[in-house]
C-alpha cells in the first residue's frame, strides 16, 4: 500500500484508513540531539527495562491524554502485556491534576501491576517525580515525535474515539461511565492475545481479576 520512494499512501486510499494519516515515521529514525521537552529529570525510554520492551512481564503501562473540546481531557493507561485499559477522569490538564489522578488510580493496582509507565513528552507529566515517589512506579519518556513507542496506547486511543469523538467535551463522564467504556474494550477478544480478552489474559497471568 506504500509508495516505494517515501512510504506515502496514495490519496485515494487515505479515505479508507481509520486514522487518515498519509505517512508513518520509521522506527529506526534517530532521536539524537533532541531535547527532553522541558521536563526536568525525564528518564528516556532507552533506559526502560527489557522486560517492558518484550511485554513478557505484566505491570508496564503506556499512558497519554485523550483530548475533547473546551480543554477537557481524560487519561488513558494501557498495560503492555495484556492490553488492559483504564480510563481516568481528570479535573484539568495541568500536571497537578493529572499526576494526582494517576496516583489515586495506580495505587489501587496490585503490586505486580505497578512497574513502569511510558509517557510522551507532554508537560502534564512534569511532576513525574512526585508520581514515582507516591507509587514507586518509574516514568519513562518517549523520544520526541515517536508515537510508535507507545503503540498500544495510540491504537487504544484510536478505538476510544468511537466513544469520544473529536470536537466533543469529555469532562461530563462519571467514573462509573468511564469504567464501563473501558470494560467494553477489556472484554473484546484480541488476535494478538490468541483471541483472549485483555481481562481474561490479565486474570490468567495474575490469578486474579481486576475490578477498577
pLDDT tens per residue across span 167-209: 999 999 999 999 999 999 999 999 999 999 999 999 998 876 6
pLDDT value at position 209?
67
- From residue 151, give the alpha-carbon distance in Å to each of 21, 53, 73, 96, 141: 15, 12, 20, 26, 14
Give the pLDDT mean for 68-81.
97
The whole-number pLDDT of residue 147 equals 85
Give the H or E element holding residue 86: strand 85-89
- Tell me the whole-structure pTM to 2 decimals: 0.80
- Domains, in order of start, for the chain: 40-206 (3.30.420.10)
Nine cell digits for residue 54:
518484550
Task: List beta partners, residue 65.
Answer: 75
- Sheet with strand 138-141: strands edge to edge: 85-89, 72-79, 60-68, 116-119, 138-141
Amino acid at each position: 500500500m506504500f509508495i516505494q520512494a517515501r512510504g506515502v499512501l496514495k490519496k485515494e486510499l487515505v479515505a479508507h484508513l481509520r486514522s487518515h494519516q498519509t505517512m508513518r515515521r520509521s522506527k529506526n529514525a534517530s532521536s539524537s540531539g533532541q531535547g527532553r521537552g522541558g521536563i526536568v529529570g525525564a528518564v528516556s525510554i532507552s533506559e526502560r527495562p527489557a522486560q517492558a520492551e518484550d511485554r513478557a512481564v505484566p505491570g508496564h503501562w503506556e499512558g497519554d491524554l485523550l483530548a475533547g473540546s473546551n480543554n477537557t481531557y481524560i487519561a488513558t493507561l494501557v498495560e503492555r502485556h495484556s492490553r488492559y485499559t483504564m480510563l481516568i477522569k481528570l479535573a484539568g490538564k495541568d500536571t497537578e491534576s493529572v499526576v494526582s489522578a494517576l496516583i489515586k488510580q495506580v495505587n489501587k493496582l496490585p503490586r505486580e501491576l505497578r512497574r513502569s509507565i511510558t509517557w510522551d513528552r507532554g508537560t502534564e507529566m512534569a511532576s513525574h517525580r512526585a508520581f514515582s515517589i507516591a507509587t514507586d512506579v518509574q516514568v519513562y519518556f518517549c523520544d520526541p515525535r515517536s508515537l510508535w513507542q507507545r503503540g498500544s496506547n495510540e491504537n487504544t486511543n484510536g478505538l476510544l474515539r468511537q466513544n469520544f469523538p473529536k470536537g466533543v467535551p469529555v469532562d461530563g463522564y462519571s467514573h462509573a461511565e468511564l469504567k464501563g467504556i473501558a470494560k467494553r474494550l477489556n472484554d473484546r477478544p484480541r488476535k494478538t492475545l490468541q483471541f483472549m480478552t485483555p481481562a481474561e489474559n490479565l486474570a490468567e497471568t495474575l490469578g486474579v481479576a481486576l475490578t477498577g
